[in-house]
Structure 1
Amino acid sequence: MAIKVLIVDDSAVMRGMLAEIINSAPDLHVVGLAPDPIVAREMIKTHNPDVLTLDIEMPKMDGLDFLARLMRLRPMPVVMISSLTKRGSEATLQALELGAVDFLPKPKLDSSGGLEHYRVEICEKVRAAYGARPRVPAKSAASPKPLLRETSEASGGIASGLPERVLQDKLVLIGASTGGTEAIKEVLCSLPGQMPGILMVQHMPEMFTASFAKRLDGLCRLRVKEAEHGEKVVPGTVYLAPGHSHLSVRRGVGGYVCELAQSEPVNRHRPAVDVLFNSAASQVRGNALGVILTGMGKDGAQGLLAMKHAGAWTIGQDQESCVVYGMPREAAAIGALDDVAPLKEIGPRVLARLRNLERRGPQT
């Protein structure tokens, strides 16, 4: 039976394009086209769709307001269709906080070159949303207050209990995709400010990673930024792969260094989790801790296995807490995981493992 999709967008041209793309897949069927949330509300009652695609900027009711009400009254899988602007990226992150499963930038109407890739991607995202576990947010949709960032002078490392050697020698590598923005936020907010450097890949377009890094930087104790080519990795800082480049790590004379490359996509992604994890297997080896979180597909599984074979410790998010149990499932299936845990326990287990590694001494 086909997955029923309702498209909500104020542009008739965009509604028609999305409908044509989605209806081209034999397992997907558009049951309605709504120009605004008011019409969408009635169509939801009439057609009982399985998945909703939702624009953000619309007349009569803003897409975020509609999403917040929808997730309170009738939670369902929602894929946001966002504009490629700074305002659009920030609103998309708010939508993911409110419970949207995933998002996709609007296609360029004047360009057919990338339309086939867009066709594949939106159909995959709708299918993943249909099988996803929608995250119903808490009654208060407000973001938590920014935490006081710890500095080495203020905390002296007391918050994490990790000595300078561990902070300098170890690295934490994180990979995520669908549902990963909120999962990463929960993991990072559970960690103290005194941590080894953290490098991570979240599948996101170029216009969205800067806003995501900025949002995380204001919420957690750790400093969060987009990675830059050639910059040194320092403790207490999280480096997010920019949406235009693969991120890898290299061991330099004075420590670890970030490297960016706009080479071909891997597993159809750039940035790709496998690129980061494979570099850690080669350069960091037993001093690495690998984390794979919720996401569609299998990106990161083979890289995590390479890390494990190189002596790294690895952990994956469990099925129950994943929005989409794809990437962690693939990692588990090939034996790449040392540990599996609910999302709320990932951060504490990483910290506990770092303390255990400190007692065991340096890894080579």
Structure 2
Amino acid sequence: MDKIKVLVVDDSVVIRRLVTDLLRADPGIEVVGTAVNGRAAVEKVQALAPDLVTMDIEMPEVDGIEAVRRIRATGSRIPIIMFSTLTERGAVATLDALAAGASDYVAKPANVGSVTRSMDQVRDALIPRIRSLVPRMGHPAPLPGAGATTATVTVTATPTVQLRDPRPAPPGGHELLVIGSSTGGPEALGTLLGALPVLPVPVAIVQHMPPVFTQQLAARLDRRVAARVVEAEQGQPLLPGSVYIAPGDRHLLVARSGRGLVARLSQDPPENYCRPAVDVLFRSAVEAVGGAVLAAVLTGMGQDGRRGAQVVVDAGGSVVVQDRATSVVWGMPGAVAQAGLAEQVLALPEIATELVQRLGATRCAVAAGAR
């Protein structure tokens, strides 16, 4: 059985040792080298040909973001997992790294209290991502969903997918668009929303990310796309032409009130190891508008969204998913497609066109948008 070869990059001796030790304890992973800054990382990627890199963000000489840019500039599509801090500055830097081509991220342990707990925390977050981004025989990708984004696409044998027959729109048409994403999601969302006009329905999104990160993601998308994008708040009206992102560590639910659709936030237990969870959003959308739901499942690790997609389909709604070739990890969309719940499996650039057609939106809607 081939081992997954990993290069560990961090200027901290403590973090390098922690990550190296926990990876070497896994029989399916081999640490082939370490580097203390981004310049050395670029050189060792070329010299050692690892399968994956773990990359610190703040380092001397060349930081992690620039190192990602330099690695991508060589044409390499090697998966890169960033190590970031759960702070506003760390969130901004992580999103910058993802935009530069990093594949995902893991939060550094903070206020944990012991080395053992630190190792447990990092191992539980890091190993599933490594196995999802670099699948090997005997290393099935685990169920937990998490994290972030772009350039690396995992491709293995394509499973047989049975598409559903398209459902006619229910009376009154679609009232709500709901989207779920995880690994690879921030950049996929940017691409998708950037290609959409201001839509005639509200858009509610679950992206697996921690607090602070979702706020920064919403702000970044708001600057980039035609629609108004915000982090959802408790009791907030969900208005056509606006996009609402679930806050980190809160489930986002859609509810109907006397004045229309509103956001509800919950700290109910995680589902699919996730809070926010896509399944929770999709179920609540059906409870609020019945079959007038249009759902999209984008790139992501795990199976979050599959059960929720079943609820949408059972109610008479429609589900489209991102295809394997354009997904960073075809876990979430693949689970929905392989369950026979998707009406269409589309490349990311094609999803916007399909959503516009199904929602009856036009480019002229941008001029009358909600900004």
TM bracket (short chain): 0.7 to 0.9
2:244 to 239, 244, 255: 239
2:179 matches 1:177: no
Q: Does 1:270 align with 2:286?
A: no
Whether the 8 Å contact between 1:72 and 1:136 is mirrored in structure 2 is no
CA distance 1:329–1:136, shift in 2 (3 Å): closer
Give the match for residue 207 of structure 1.
212
How many angstroms does 1:335 deviate by? 1.6
Q: How many Å separate the matches in 1 of 2:49 and 2:353? A: 40
How many residue pairs align between the two structures?
A: 327
Aligned match of 1:84: 86
* Residue 309 of structure 2 is aligned to residue 304 of structure 1: yes
What is the TM-score when the length of structure 1 is the normalising length? 0.85
Cα–Cα, structure 1 residues 49 and 134, in superposed 2: closer, same or farther, change >3 Å?
farther
Name the SS of the counterpart of 1:321 in structure 2.
Answer: coil
Q: CA deviation at 1:248?
A: 0.8
Specify every segment of 5 or more residues in structure 1 that has no aligned partner in the other structure, as ranges. Answer: 138-164, 357-364
Structure 2 unaligned blocks of 5 or more: 136-140, 142-148, 154-171, 362-371
Whether 1:255 aligns to 2:256 is no
Q: Verify the 8 A CA contact 2:82 2:106 in the aligned structure 1.
A: yes
Percent sequence identity over aligned pairs? 41
Deviates more, 1:266-275 or 1:13-22: 13-22
Task: Deviation per CA, 1:283-318: give whole Å up to 9, x if none.
Answer: 222211000000111000110111011111110011
State the Cα deviation string for residues 214-273 of structure 1 (Å, max 9, x = none). 000000010000001111111111110011201111111221111111121110011111
**Structure 1 vs Structure 2 CA RMSD:** 2.0
Aligned to 1:160: none
Deviation at 1:134, TM superposition (A): 6.6
Change (3 A) 1:229 1:105: same
1:141 corresponding residue in structure 2 = none
Spell out, residue by residue over 1:53-76, the C-alpha distance to the aligned partner (whole angstroms, 9 max, x if none).
111110011211111111011411
In the other structure, the counterpart of 2:120 is 116
What is the alpha-carbon distance in structure 2 between the residues aligned to residue 39 and residue 265 of structure 1?
39
> Stretches of 4+ moved more than 4 A in 1?
112-115, 131-134
Name the CA shift for 1:306/1:194 in 2 (closer, same or farther; >3 Å).
closer
Say whether 1:291 aligns with 2:296: yes
2:237 is matched by which residue type in structure 1? K
TM-score (norm: length of structure 2)? 0.84
Matches within 5 A, 1:209-228: 209-228=214-233
Given that 1:82 and 1:92 are in contact with CA atoms closer than 8 Å, whether structure 2 keeps it comes out as: yes
Deviates more, 1:270-279 or 1:22-31: 22-31
Indicate if the aligned counterparts of 1:281 and 1:307 stay in contact, CA closer than 8 A: yes
Summarize the alignment of residues 146-157 of structure 1 with structure 2, pairs less than 5 Å apart: none
**CA distance in structure 1 between the partners assigned to 2:68 and 2:150 by the alignment:** 12
CA spacing shift, 1:321–1:85, aligned 2, 3 Å: same
Match of 1:45 in 2: 46
Cα 1:187–1:128, aligned 2, differ >3 Å: closer, same or farther? same
Q: Which moved more, 1:264-273 or 1:122-131?
A: 122-131
